Amino acid sequence: MEFLSNILTGFQVTFQPINLLYCFVGVFLGTLIGVLPGIGPSGTISILLPVTFKISPVSSIILLAGIYYGAMYGGSTTSILVNVPGEAASVITCLDGYQMARQGRAGPALGIAAFGSFIAGTFSVIGLMCLSLPLSRFALAFGPPEYFALIILGITLLTYLTQKSIAKSLMVAAFGFLLSFIGIDMISGNARYTFGIPGLMSGLSILPIAMGLFGVGEVFQSMAAPEQRTIFETKLRGLLPNRQDWKDSWKPITRGSLLGFFWGIIPGASSVSATFVSYALEKGCSKHPEKFGRGAIEGVAAPESANNSAFGGGLVPLFALGIPPSVVTALLFSALMIHGIQPGPFLIPEHPDVFWGLVASMYLGNIMLLIINLPLIGIWVQVLKVPQFALLPFILLFCIVGVYSINNSFFDVGVMMLFGVLGYLMKKFDYELTPLVFLFILGPILEQSLRRSLMLSGGSFLIFFTRPVSASLLILSGLVILSYFFFRRQTKAVVEGNAH
Amino acid sequence: MRQLESEVVGGLFWMAVGLFFALAGVKLNVGTLTNPGPGFFPMIIALILIFSGLLTLAKGLIRSVRPVSGISWKQQALATASVFFYGLLLDFFGFLISTFILMFILFGLLIKGKSRWYRVFLYAAGTALASWLVFSVALSVPFPSPSLTAIWR
Q: Do B61 and B80 share a structural domain?
A: no
CB atoms within 10 A of CB A225: 11
Cβ contacts (< 8 Å) between A408 and chain B: which residues?
A: 142
Determine which helix (DSSP H) or strand (DSSP E) holds A227, and give its type and residue range: none
One-letter amino acid of A344: G
Examine residue B121 and state whether it is found in any structural domain, yes or no: yes
**How far off is chain B from A464, nearest CA to CA, in Å?**
13
Inter-chain CB proximity A393 and B103 less than 8 Å: yes
Considering B27, B45, B68, which residue would you say is the last residue of a domain?
A: B68
Cβ contacts (< 8 Å) between A224 and chain B: which residues?
A: 71-72, 75-76
Determine which helix (DSSP H) or strand (DSSP E) holds A114, and give its type and residue range: helix A106-139
**Band of residue A284 on the pLDDT scale cut at 50, 70, 90:** confident
Please give the tally of structural domains in chain B: 2
Inter-chain CB proximity B87 and A414 less than 8 Å: yes
Asked if B59 reaches chain A (Cβ–Cβ under 8 Å), the answer is: yes
State residue B153's pLDDT score.
Answer: 43
Q: In A, residues 224-243, which contact B (CB 8 Å cutoff)?
A: 224, 226
Examine residue A425 and state whether it is found in any structural domain, yes or no: no
Inter-chain CB proximity A171 and B76 less than 8 Å: no
Residue A353 and residue A105 in contact, taking contact as beta carbons nearer than 8 Å: no
State residue A52's pLDDT score.
Answer: 86
Of A178, A187, A397, the CB nearest to B103: A397
Residue A336 and residue A319 in contact, taking contact as beta carbons nearer than 8 Å: no
Q: Do B79 and B134 share a structural domain?
A: yes
Examine residue B97 and state whether it is found in any structural domain, yes or no: yes
Q: Do B41 and B16 share a structural domain?
A: yes
What is the distance in angstroms between the CA of the first residue and the CA of the last residue of chain A? 59
DSSP B31: B
Q: Do B103 and B64 share a structural domain?
A: no
Q: Do B134 and B78 share a structural domain?
A: yes
Cβ contacts (< 8 Å) between B9 and chain A: which residues?
A: 429
Query: By C-alpha distance, which of A20, A106, A33, A77 is closest to A373?
Result: A77
Examine residue B149 and state whether it is found in any structural domain, yes or no: no
Examine residue A140 and state whether it is found in any structural domain, yes or no: yes
Residue A294 and residue A109 in contact, taking contact as beta carbons nearer than 8 Å: no
Examine residue B146 and state whether it is found in any structural domain, yes or no: no
Cβ contacts (< 8 Å) between B39 and chain A: which residues?
A: 192
Considering B26, B47, B68, which residue would you say is the last residue of a domain?
A: B68
Examine residue A452 and state whether it is found in any structural domain, yes or no: no
Interval A209-237 mean pLDDT = 76
pTM of whole model > 0.90? no
Distance CA A15, CA A141 (A): 34
Q: Percent of chain A beyond pLDDT 90? A: 42
Examine residue A98 and state whether it is found in any structural domain, yes or no: yes
Which residue range is the domain that position A235 belongs to?
2-144+196-406
Query: By C-alpha distance, which of A323, A310, A359 is closest to A129?
Result: A359
Inter-chain CB proximity A401 and B86 less than 8 Å: no
Examine residue A337 and state whether it is found in any structural domain, yes or no: yes
Q: Do B80 and B63 share a structural domain?
A: no
Asked if A456 reaches chain B (Cβ–Cβ under 8 Å), the answer is: no
Cβ partners under 8 Å of residue A471, min gap 6: A149, A464, A465
Please give the tally of structural domains in chain A: 1
Of A175, A187, A223, the CB nearest to B110: A223
Q: In A, residues 315-374, which contact B (CB 8 Å cutoff)?
A: none
Examine residue B143 and state whether it is found in any structural domain, yes or no: no
Examine residue A176 and state whether it is found in any structural domain, yes or no: no
Considering B68, B101, B120, which residue would you say is the last residue of a domain?
A: B68
Q: Do B88 and B127 share a structural domain?
A: yes
Determine which helix (DSSP H) or strand (DSSP E) holds A318, and give its type and residue range: helix A298-321
Query: By C-alpha distance, which of B89, B91, B94, B114 is closest to B105?
Result: B89
pLDDT tens-digit readout, A84-96: 787 788 888 888 9
Interval A452-479 mean pLDDT = 90
Residue A304 and residue A78 in contact, taking contact as beta carbons nearer than 8 Å: no
Examine residue B130 and state whether it is found in any structural domain, yes or no: yes
User: Across the strands, what pairs with A192?
Assistant: A183
Q: Do B94 and B134 share a structural domain?
A: yes
Which residue range is the domain that position B106 belongs to?
74-138
Q: In B, residues 92-121, which contact A (CB 8 Å cutoff)?
A: 99, 102-103, 106-107, 109-111
State residue B151's pLDDT score.
Answer: 47
What are the counts of helices (DSSP H) followed by strands (DSSP E) for chain A? 24, 2
What residue of A is the nearest CA neighbor of B16? A175
Inter-chain CB proximity A178 and B45 less than 8 Å: yes
Q: Percent of chain B beyond pLDDT 90? A: 28
Task: Choose from A204, A223, A455, A461 for mutation: most chain B CBs within 10 A.
Answer: A223
Examine residue B147 and state whether it is found in any structural domain, yes or no: no
Asked if B79 reaches chain A (Cβ–Cβ under 8 Å), the answer is: yes
Average pLDDT, chain A: 87
